[in-house]
């Protein structure tokens, strides 16, 4: 199940490339568009509302099928995925651009609070795919928590690259999608005891 970022939807080059790779590997894909975007609003709902929507949608359309599943989220969506994956029984989480420490400072001049606790408390395997120039910082891998990190050379928070980085943006996006798909397919093992999914094509929820 794909969970989008605060300012993006589910039909992005990164999600489309990830969906193509996953479908080729025999996985079914769901894309969850949050209600605030469906209503045409730019500002995300509060975290509790986002989590409630994700819990209801994934429970109804994915978790209740009895098949193994995982969550993939971009930025804000990766935070939602971290918070709900355990209660839903997911096998793990793919975080694409986890917003670890918001850049800038508070009105009091203090650094903005880190979201490290969301990574530490997930209790499931996690792969963070992060641009090496991400202004939100870089989570650390932690083998004791089954947390891995893959850095995309030259990428920013959205895996955009600069001319000086010597690679096209499409190349960075393709790398993130390839690494993420391989990780998810390994987690799900679609050719394992449960057999391949019945309908190997993306579906929007």
Structural domains of the chain in order of their starting residue, each with its CATH number: 2-101+115-189 (3.40.50.1820)
| 33 closest CA partner among 53, 48, 60 | 53
| 126 closest CA partner among 93, 161, 167, 86 | 93
Confidence label for 203 from pLDDT (cuts 50, 70 and 90):
very low
| 128 closest CA partner among 95, 151, 157 | 95
Could you tell me what percentage of the chain is helix, strand and coil, using 3-state DSSP and rounding each to the nearest 5? 40, 15, 45
Confidence label for 200 from pLDDT (cuts 50, 70 and 90):
very low
- Enter the pTM of the model: 0.89
Q: How far apart are CA 33 and CA 7, in angstroms?
A: 11
Q: How do residues 32-49 score in pLDDT, each as one tens digit?
A: 999 999 999 999 999 999
């Amino acid at each position: 199940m794909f969970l989008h970022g605060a300012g993006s939807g589910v039909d992005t080059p990164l999600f489309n490339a990830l969906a193509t790779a996953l479908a080729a590997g025999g996985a079914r894909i769901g894309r969850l568009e949050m209600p605030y975007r469906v209503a045409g609003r730019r500002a995300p709902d509060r975290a509790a509302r986002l989590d409630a929507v994700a819990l209801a949608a994934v429970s109804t359309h994915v978790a209740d099928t009895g098949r193994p599943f995982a969550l993939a989220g971009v930025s804000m969506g990766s935070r939602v995925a971290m918070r709900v994956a355990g209660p839903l029984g997911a096998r793990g989480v793919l975080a694409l651009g986890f917003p670890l420490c918001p850049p800038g400072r508070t009105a009091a001049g203090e650094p903005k609070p880190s979201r490290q606790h969301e990574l530490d408390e997930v209790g499931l395997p996690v792969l963070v795919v992060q641009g090496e120039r991400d202004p939100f910082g870089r989570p650390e891998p932690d083998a004791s928590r089954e947390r891995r990190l893959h850095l995309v050379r030259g990428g920013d928070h959205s895996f955009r690259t600069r001319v000086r980085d010597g690679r096209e943006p499409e190349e960075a996006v393709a790398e993130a999608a390839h690494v993420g798909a391989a990780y998810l397919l390994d987690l799900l093992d679609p050719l394992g005891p449960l057999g391949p999914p019945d309908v190997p094509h993306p579906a929007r929820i």
